[in-house]
Amino acid sequence: MNLLWVIGTVLAGLNAGILVSGLLEGFYLREVGLSAYLQMHQPRDALFRRMMPPLLLALMACCLGLFALTFGTGRGWLALLAFAVVLADVLVTVRLMVPLNLALQGYDARQPPPEGEQLRRRWSDLHPLRTVLGGLAFVLLLLWR
């Protein structure tokens, strides 16, 4: 059970850290042009598109495992709540963020269209929600201990 908690907490911490880095990216790159932003965002998104699904699925499995092992206790409910928060993060990502990322990936970073700026702003407006969800899941698993 402790190993499952350690793995889940490490995964939640990685997720939260990655999400914070995206928040910082948006903050620090808000003043640069769309071309420079896309040169940073596109490779980052390509990497995260491959690594985030297995990370989040493994995190969800850990949360469910912790819930099953501590069912009926306060710790069990913390694990279930952490699972629900990660699931909410996944839903926000799949329904809202992935379409934006795919559109941004489709632009030529050297000559992006003007409407790309609107997508960039939308991405920057939505990403803090994911960051809060990721941070909350991490805190819930820390409290589970």
Residue 40 tokens read as 């940073």
- pTM, whole model, 2 decimals? 0.93
Task: Look at residue 131 and tell me whether its pLDDT is greater than 80.
Answer: yes
Cβ pair 136, 85 in contact under 8 A: yes
Domain layout of the chain by residue ranges: 2-144
Helices (H), the chain: 2-28, 34-69, 74-92, 98-105, 116-144
Average pLDDT along the chain: 95
Contact 127, 23 (CB under 8 A): yes
| DSSP letters for 88-101 | HHHHHIIIIIHHHH
pLDDT band for position 29 (50/70/90)?
confident
